[in-house]
Amino acid sequence: MRKVLMGNHALSYGVKLSRAEVIAAYPITPQTEVVELLSEMCASGELKAKFIKVESEHSAMAALIGASFTGARTFTATSSQGLALMHEMLHWAAGARTPIVMGNINRAFGPPWSIWTDQNDSLSQRDTGWMQVYAQNNQEVLDSVIQAYKVAETVELPAMIVLAAFVLSHTSEPVEIPDQEKVDEFLPPYKRKYKIDPEEPHAFGGLTTPDNYFEFRYKIQKAMEKALNEWEKVGEEFGEIFGRRYGLVETYKAEDAKNLIVSSGTIASTARRAVDILREKGEKVGLIRVRVFRPFPGEKISEILSSANKAVVIDRNISFGASGIFYQEIKAAIYNKIKKPKIFGVITGLGGRDVTSKDIVEIYKEVMKMEEPSSEIIWQGVNL
């Protein structure tokens, strides 16, 4: 079935199709429609889930960790300040190895207040042990939820589906809604190995001495490494059943490209248009879209970049006092490689500032004029 859906509702449909069993959420713009639709689905019985209408995002995550521990499939969604308030519990969820799936609508932090998009909210959760997927359109939003449950439950780590505020969350696009039977076949019910069960008492999460703690962390890293493979595998399998293939990264006209643009989310889909424009002008340029950011597909990206002269990383985020975050990660990934391009880090579009294909063409042209990066940050579009 095809339906015209806003990104937020694409999330809700993904959750419904995945048969989530416990949902807990707290409203924040621009996330609210996600859980509004879910609460309607729960109220009508269309989705057989318990919906806990908590009093804060922090409690939402705490409740889901508890619920996940009983073996229930769980979901929440949030944005920006809500995600920041959850931060403590994000660590807890990963440490407790709960495969919670969450939608995060990328919204800029205050002050000054902003409801528009940038990636600083999700990227400041980079080191919590959550997997992160950056979607580029509403179809991918829906499809990624289903895949996320599958990967999360296999590697026992939580996953975040990230979409740009308004650019996706409130933009309607035709979305193919898969058949429930096919989804059921693809995504079997969640079976938790170690769970809270009154019939078999265990204590979970008690104080650990330095003799044990380290190993718990080691196992999270190993699970993340395993997840790299899982995202590829599950993306392929999804493609076979539903006809839409997904991977860790996506490339566009990259095979013969001399220079590559690297970006994520909706800027990457805008960059595709920029690549076309530049190709028409004879530029040998291609695109890498980083879809999965955690676990980070550094090897894969390095491999694609190995034959390029220059890479332009476009970040809609900033780590203050350093530079763009994707730029840092990619630079780190290629550092030890023999064959690597010169890498340029561009920051643009903070707080939802429009980024057009024309802007990306300009950025590209400017970078091509440089021998070396003029600095760690090449700013695009700052009006002082």
Partner 1 sequence: MKLSIPEEEIIGLGNFGCQGCGAVLAMRYALKALGRNTIITLPACCWSVIDGPFPHSLVNVSLFHTAFETAAPAASGIRAGLEVKGKKANVVAWAGDGATYDIGFGAISGVAERNEDIIYVCYDNEAYMNTGNQRSSATPFKAVTTTTPINSPKENHKKDIVSIMADHQIPYLATASIAYPEDLIEKFKKAKDIKGMRFMLIFCPCPTGWKYSPSLTIKLARLAVQTRIFPLLEVEFGKKWALTKDILRPKPVEEYLKLQGRFKHLKEEDIKEIQHLVDENWERLLEKIKR
- Which positions lie near partner 1, rule CB under 8 A? 21-22, 24, 48-50, 52-56, 58-60, 62-72, 74, 88-89, 92, 196-198, 200-209, 212
What value does the CA radius of gyration of the chain take, rounded to a whole number of Å? Answer: 21
Residue 108 Cβ vs partner 1, minimum distance, rounded to whole Å: 26
**Which lies closer to partner 1 via its Cβ, residue 78 or residue 120?**
78
**Which lies closer to partner 1 via its Cβ, residue 67 or residue 162?**
67
Q: Are 269 and 134 in contact (CB under 8 A)?
A: no
**Which lies closer to partner 1 via its Cβ, residue 66 or residue 298?**
66
- How far apart CA 367 and CA 120 sit, in angstroms, is 24
* Three-class SS state of 345: strand
Residue 87 Cβ vs partner 1, minimum distance, rounded to whole Å: 11
- The residues, ordered by sequence, that sit 6+ positions from 102 with a Cβ below 8 Å of its Cβ are 75, 76, 77, 78, 130, 158, 159, 160, 161
What backbone torsions phi and psi does residue 36 show, to the nearest 5 degrees? -60, -45
**Which lies closer to partner 1 via its Cβ, residue 202 or residue 281?**
202
Residue 342 Cβ vs partner 1, minimum distance, rounded to whole Å: 45
Tokens standing for residue 98 = 């709960």
Residue 51 Cβ vs partner 1, minimum distance, rounded to whole Å: 9
**Which lies closer to partner 1 via its Cβ, residue 61 or residue 287?**
61
Residue 285 Cβ vs partner 1, minimum distance, rounded to whole Å: 47
Residue 58 Cβ vs partner 1, minimum distance, rounded to whole Å: 7
Q: Are 109 and 81 in contact (CB under 8 A)?
A: yes
Residue 216 Cβ vs partner 1, minimum distance, rounded to whole Å: 9
Q: Are 338 and 303 in contact (CB under 8 A)?
A: no
Signed CA dihedral, 365, 354, 6, 263: sign only:
positive
**Which lies closer to partner 1 via its Cβ, residue 70 or residue 380?**
70
Residue 60 Cβ vs partner 1, minimum distance, rounded to whole Å: 8
Phi/psi-derived region of residue 249, left when phi > 0, alpha when psi is between -120 and 50, beta in every other case:
beta
**Which lies closer to partner 1 via its Cβ, residue 57 or residue 118?**
57
- The residues, ordered by sequence, that sit 6+ positions from 377 with a Cβ below 8 Å of its Cβ are 318, 323, 324, 345, 346, 347
Beta strands 101-106 and 292-294: pairing type?
unpaired
What does the DSSP assignment read for 277-326? Answer: HHHHTT--EEEEEE-EEES--HHHHHHHHTT-SEEEEEES---TTS--HH
**Which lies closer to partner 1 via its Cβ, residue 60 or residue 145?**
60
- How far apart CA 89 and CA 91 sit, in angstroms, is 5
- How far apart CA 324 and CA 317 sit, in angstroms, is 6
For residue 355, the surrounding DSSP H or E stretch is: none
**Which lies closer to partner 1 via its Cβ, residue 60 or residue 325?**
60
Residue 106 Cβ vs partner 1, minimum distance, rounded to whole Å: 25
Residue 263 Cβ vs partner 1, minimum distance, rounded to whole Å: 35
**Which lies closer to partner 1 via its Cβ, residue 92 or residue 327?**
92
Q: Are 279 and 311 in contact (CB under 8 A)?
A: no
